[in-house]
Amino acid sequence: MNRRLFLRMFAWLLIVAMGTFTLSHNLASSLNSSLTRLTPEHQQQLLDYAEQAEYYYQHGQLDNISQLTAKIAAEQGAWSALRASNGTQYSYQALPAHLADTYDFRRKITSPVHTFFTNLVIGIPFKDGGSFVIELPAHMYPQYDVELIRLLLTLVVPTIVLLLFCWFLYRYIMRPIEALNRATIALANGNLNSRASIQLPKNRNDEITQLADSFDSMADRLQQLITTQRQLLGDLSHELRTPLTRIDLAINRCKETCQEHPEQHHRINHELQRINALIEDALTLAWLSEEPKIANEDNFDLASLLDVIVEDAAFEYQNHRIERHYQHCPIEQGNQRMLAQCIENVLRNALKYSPQHTTVTVSCELDQAHYLLKVCDQGPGVPKANLTDIFKPFYRQDKARSREIDGFGLGLALVKRQMEAMGGSVEARNRAHGGLEMQLRIPR
């Protein structure tokens, strides 16, 4: 197995980490440069003060320098002075005590000014070597908490980048997994042609695509086995019809020529009919497996169809009572023949497994876009763990059915396949007071 997915993830993570560090560093530096400098207006105001002081000094107007520094103190609340090239200092007052420690560390007017700086002194040099020095007025300090903003920036930017990277990585990994999941669900629902690799990019070749290829190999093998099994079942059923037809003809001829042992003739004929029914059901089951959807083109009344089926069943099972609870139930698009087979199969099952002189209830009600048909018997029911197993081919739950029941266990399997082919469904439930309730959800 290759390690392409690991190598790609490592390379992407390395690129994202380096890019995030570089981006955070550059943003922090830019922030520090832009937010910790004096505004252009404040810089220009200090330069104007320096220009006036220089003018007075060059023209020998030293008293005006004292007046200027006094005016600055009155307007800005800050000490200022003109420092000549020979070290002489001109101001309205001597250097204040609170500036003694910072006076010799005068900063340029363009230097960063952080909020934790105090008693900051700005020096503006002259061409002759002198300078104008001024205590930075309090209102000219930057108003932003640069350190807090920088801290937030170093947290927010990496978090956003990491979130975007994780989302990209998640989608990169989950996209093929979702495709594999869709293919698995489709295969589980009976679509044997479902494959995963065709849904993945062709240029992708990593561990996940290898998993998809393994799934496709399994699906190919499974499709081959099931197709072979269905073909065998269909071929076997077809091949059995010919000898059974010959046996039926021989029995009829035997009846005509030999009148002895009529009960044996009847028994043989009955078993022959059962085998024929088994073959028909097996062929239908195999056909439905190949054609999961059928055409629903019949327009009929479900209530009328139920009346016919119930009357036939009542005539055959005269020791049972059938209650009806339904009214006019029009169906615009359905398959009347197949639906009749489903209902008849379920109703006869209910009558078979119900004790004599008990009641089987047939009801139908509207449930959104479907009719909900319920057939309730008073038999022994089915263990809860086996309620889904009864729809499997050839399944028989003898423990739940004490009497010998005629059949091979294909009836409910056919009902399930037929209902699904018509776009409906069937479900079995145990009734609270005993018996089994079959629910057929029939499209309108």
**Same domain for 51 and 122:** yes
The structure's pTM equals 0.49
Confidence tier at 262 by pLDDT (50, 70, 90): low
Residues 6+ apart with CB under 8 A from 21: none
**Same domain for 314 and 278:** no
Residue range 338-351: mean pLDDT, rounded? 91
Say if residue 377's pLDDT is above 90. yes
Residue 193 counted as domain residue? no
Residue 330 counted as domain residue? yes
Q: What is the CATH number of the domain that holds 51?
A: 3.30.450.170
Domain count, the chain: 3
Given this model, what pLDDT does residue 439 score? 94
Task: Name the domain boundary from 238, 267, 290.
Answer: 290
> 163-188 pLDDT, tens per residue?
888 898 888 888 888 888 888 888 88
Sign of CA dihedral 198, 199, 204, 210: negative
For residue 211, CA distances in Å to 179, 181, 215 come to: 11, 12, 6
**Same domain for 411 and 285:** no
Query: Which domain covers residue 368, as residue numbers?
Result: 298-443
Sign of CA dihedral 204, 206, 210, 215: negative
8 Å CB contact between 95 and 89: yes
> 37-90 pLDDT, tens per residue?
788 888 899 999 999 999 998 888 989 989 999 999 998 889 999 989 888 889
Task: Name the domain boundary from 109, 126, 141.
Answer: 141
**Same domain for 271 and 313:** no
Confidence tier at 399 by pLDDT (50, 70, 90): very low
Task: Name the domain boundary from 242, 274, 290.
Answer: 290
Residue 174 counted as domain residue? no
Given this model, what pLDDT does residue 401 score? 46
Say if residue 259's pLDDT is above 70. no
**Same domain for 439 and 343:** yes
**Same domain for 273 and 327:** no
Residue range 345-353: mean pLDDT, rounded? 91
In angstroms, the CA 399 to CA 338 distance is: 30
Residue 62 counted as domain residue? yes
**Same domain for 309 and 429:** yes
Q: What is the CATH number of the domain that holds 235?
A: 1.10.287.130
Residues 6+ apart with CB under 8 A from 105: 121
Of the listed ranges 241-250, 300-309, 310-319, 343-352, the one predicted with least confidence: 241-250
Residue 81 counted as domain residue? yes
Residue 199 counted as domain residue? no
Given this model, what pLDDT does residue 408 score? 64
Give the residue carrying structure tokens 């059928």. Answer: 294
**Same domain for 396 and 361:** yes
Burial label for 342, CB within 10 Å (0-12, 13-18, 19+), is buried
Say if residue 432's pLDDT is above 80. yes
Residue 50 counted as domain residue? yes
**Same domain for 135 and 45:** yes
8 Å CB contact between 24 and 162: no
Given this model, what pLDDT does residue 402 score? 40
Residues 6+ apart with CB under 8 A from 221: none
**Same domain for 235 and 108:** no
Number of C-alpha atoms within 13 angstroms, CB side, residue 175? 10
Say if residue 403's pLDDT is above 50. no
Residue 181 counted as domain residue? no
**Same domain for 305 and 268:** no
Q: What is the CATH number of the domain that holds 316?
A: 3.30.565.10
**Same domain for 344 and 270:** no
8 Å CB contact between 443 and 332: no
